[in-house]
Amino acid sequence: MKIRFIAAGLLATAAFSGPVLAQSSITLYGVADLYAQLGKGNRTETALESGGYSGSRLGFKGRKVLVDSLSAVFQLEAGIAVDKGVSTQGGRLFGRQAYAGVSDTWGTLTAGRQYTPEFLSVDNADPMSTGVGSAANSGVLSLLVVRADNSIVYAAPKMGPVSVNAMVSLGETSSGSTTNGNLYAANVEYAAGPLDLNVSLTSQNRATDAGVNASIALVTGIYDFGSFKLMGGLQGVRHPSGVAGANDDRNEVFAGVQIPVGKDLIALGGYSSRARVSSSGMTASQVSAEYIHNITKDFLTYGTLTSIKNGAATSYTTDGATGAGPAVSAGKKASALQVGFRYMF
């Protein structure tokens, strides 16, 4: 009997202490992505690159319950070029993400180096998922800022099918106005059933008093028909270079499909960018096709074909998530076959 009472007591203690032990968690994770590339620009080139389908990385993320529903959160993520063993994102230690904050029923507030709402919207609706074959990497599709330093992000709690988040990034420049370099962005998403609609607005103040403000208005959409997903978006871009009188305003559109084939996926994408001043030569178009073979939930292989037609003043090439495409001069076409694998842990 005494043994039974002792055993029952130990079980009860474990049951009550379990949630306490689970209140704090830290996760180590990573991605190793490598691909071989046969590319043609100014010449035919072969290369082994890191970061095709996804950027290679090593990261830490965690959550700790502080009181009731209030939790502290953080994420530190380092980009790695696995082909050379060096850091990406300009050699930053945690160049992909570095933030901390708090989360509660009223939403999540984080501060640090974070993805912009614009990038997350494009990544969600891009048929190539901003990996190899995506015009978000080549530059045919403009991204004003992918990650913003010194940023504060507020994600409101989901209201039915509607999600809202906003970002303010402090430029912290020493030239001219105290607001030079500041970035302001907001995103509203409606996701219900097979439909996903997204509106994103981004504005970046001029870097110096001699420059001009830049902005992007983006609308994206996805509709899941079950047997395939139709996806795409359009955006208006103003002064992306931030240089006064540059005549670089652009209208851009992208569309494509993702078709499941068992556990695998076929992705097809088309992208077009055209300057509002046609005489500037700032035009380009891109088409891509990709096959993704999922071997396990952690390991996949992929093959991608991409072709880019550059305008007289553009020299976009077939970059991957972080890997580089062949060298291309203005006005020349670029193309590539990229075959690789991604391992997640």
Structural domains in the chain? 32-53+113-344 (2.40.160.10)
| pLDDT attached to residue 277 | 83
Query: Which residue is listed with tokens 């103003």?
Result: 238
Length of the chain measured in residues: 345
Residue 167 bridge partners (DSSP): 153, 185
The Cα 243–Cα 141 span in angstroms is 19
342: amino acid identity, one letter: R
Select from 105, 107, 106, 112 the least CA-distant residue to 74: 112
Write the DSSP symbol of residue 146. Answer: S
DSSP β-bridge partners for residue 204 = 183, 214
How many CA atoms lie within 13 Å of 23's alpha carbon, on the beta-carbon side?
A: 14
Cβ pair 291, 339 in contact under 8 A: no
pLDDT in tens, the chain (345 residues): 333 333 344 333 333 344 444 488 999 999 999 999 999 999 999 999 999 999 999 999 999 999 999 999 999 999 999 999 999 999 999 999 999 999 999 999 999 999 999 999 999 999 999 999 999 999 999 999 999 999 999 999 999 999 999 999 999 988 889 999 999 999 999 999 999 999 999 999 999 999 999 999 999 999 999 999 999 999 999 999 999 988 899 999 999 999 999 999 999 999 999 998 877 789 999 999 999 999 999 999 999 999 999 999 999 999 999 999 999 999 999 999 999 999 999
Task: Check residue 16 and give its pLDDT.
Answer: 39
DSSP state of 125: H
CA dist 4 and 130 (Å) reads 59
The per-residue pLDDT for 174 is 84
